[in-house]
Each structure stands twice: as structure tokens, then as C-alpha cells.
Structure 1
Amino acid sequence: MLALLLIVGSTLQAPAAPSQDAKPPAEASARERPRADDAKATDAPADPKEALREFFLSMIKQDEEAVREAVVDDEDLEWLLKGPKPPADQLDKIEKSLAEAPLRALKAGDEVTTPGGGKAKVEPDDVSDDRALIVMGDGPPLRLQKVDGRWRVDARPIIAARKAAAKASARKKAG
């Protein structure tokens, strides 16, 4: 449930589509922006499950720097920072819920249900010492990749879901 809320955004307030003139928070591409220095990288979670939890918490808090450090590619990063912030008095409950959320690391040969309801088998190339597929609850698998010694989330499916929700919301409002 938490993962679905994070991926799609609030059903009460879908993220608004950026205007054509809007620029991302930082114009440089992910490859041009510096990443964390070596000291910060050593503080990074050694486990992909913990990296995913930290990513979701950073996203909920709308902490742009932490989200940027948690993703493989931060193109369209602004889509991960949209939506209402939770009330400050609810953050402890959210952190506890996220810490207790069931996460499962998939292995080669595991079968998963895709967002469209189909079935897919995890291939050996999908999981390795520097690649992971993590499932939160009964949500879709999320890819993580180790980059510069730090586990990072491939946030493209989350961004695509948020864009689709914003587009659907705009169509609904247009009537």
C-alpha cells in the first residue's frame, strides 16, 4: 500500500504536469552533476533493501539532495519531489511503517507478477553483486544498481507512473 502511494502519488492530489517552460531543479544531466564524495559513499547502505527504504523516505520528505544521491539517473527528478508533504507529526509513523514494510530481494528464476498482471521470470542478468530487484509487499519489483559503491534506485518506473497519473488527472479535469 505504501509503495503504491509513493509510486502513483496521492489520489487526492496527483502531481501537476510541469509547464513547457518549466526547467528541472538542476539543468545539468545526471552525468554532469557530481555525486557524493568518497566519505559520503561509505555511509551509504550496504544492502539494497535499506537503500530502497532510504530512497522512499527521502522521497516522502521531499529531500532533493538525498533523492538525487539515491537514484541511478536523476533525469526528471522533480517528479519524485511532487505532491503533498506529510504532516511533521506523522513522519515518525511513516518512518516506522517504512522500516517494517516487507521487502523481498528476488533471485534468478523467481517469478513475479508484472504491473499489467502478466508473469515474468527473473533472469540471471537481472540480479548480481551490483544489481538487485526488490519487491515491497505485493508491489512491482524495483531495480537497484550499485554505482560508485552505493546502491541506487532506478526510479524511471516511478517517474513514469507519476507522469501518467498527472496526465490522467489533467484529462479528467478537462472533461
Structure 2
Amino acid sequence: MADRDTGASLIEILIAVVLLGTVVVAVLGALQVSVIGTRIERDHAKAYQWLQSANGVLQAAERVGCDYDPSDPADPLDDPADLPYADGEEKMRLRYQTLVRSRVVNPPDWDDRQLTVLYPVKIWDGSRYWEPASAPKSCYDVDGYFLQLITLEVTNPNGDIIETIEVVKRD
């Protein structure tokens, strides 16, 4: 009488273990990709929401003029703390940055320094936006052109740039 196969051989067991291990590794890899993708999408959503809030604050706030006179008593925003600005562009940029950082609610676990007004705040001359340093004139407010192009940037807590928006500010 011939011997009957009474069970699985060692080779069959090893193949089954390898196949099951491959399935487990694939499932864990898919889970990791899903978790990372969800975290990145969540950070982008928070950044976009933060930028939209900053846009609303900028649009509702009083416009900061591009003219610069550190001793202008007619400017209600001028005070001794404003004197260190080097020029009108720096004045606009830093005042807008202070404004959005102080009035926009940060997402949980995000710091207000992660919301930045980027250099330069550009000015409109009636036909195009200029970087004030390279414009024919450093300010066109006296000509009646009050448009400013402000670029806001949000970085996540790790320091990666995730969202940027350009805002047109007008009087």
C-alpha cells in the first residue's frame, strides 16, 4: 500500500507564509500612504483656510499707503515705532504682516509666524504692477493709483511651503 500525503509539506508552508507576508506588507504600505496623504491634505486645507481668512482681514483693513515719511504727523498709523522702516515697501509689507498675524485665527498647533507677507508688495501705475525698487516712481498714490499686489505665504509646522495667494488691495 502506498503512503498517502498526510499534510502539507515544508515547501507548501513556506510558500503560504511568503504569500501572506507579501499581502501584509502591501496592506501596511497602503495604510501608510493613506495616512501620509491624509496629513498632507489636512495641512493644505488648513493653510488654504488660513489664507482665505487673511485675505478677508486684508480686504477689510485700512489700506497702508506706499508713500514714506517717517515724521508725517498726518498719517494716523505713524508713531515712533514706525521710524525704522527703510522705505515705503517695507512699511506696507511689515504693517500688513503685523495686521494679518494679529487678527487672523491660527489653526491649532500652528504659529502666527508661519503666515508671511512676501517681498515685495507691488504697486500699480495704471498699466502694470511694479516692485517699488524698480518702478519709475516709488509710489503712485499721489497719481490716484491705489492698487497693491500683496503675496501671502503659509508654511506648515515643519517649515514646508504649502500655500501662496496673491491679494489685490485697493482703497
* Short-chain TM bin: 0.3 to 0.5
TM-score, normalising length: structure 1: 0.32
Higher relative contact order (CA 8 A, sep 6+): 1
Q: TM-score, normalised by structure 2?
A: 0.32
If you compute each CA radius of gyration, which structure gives the higher value, 1 or 2?
Answer: 2
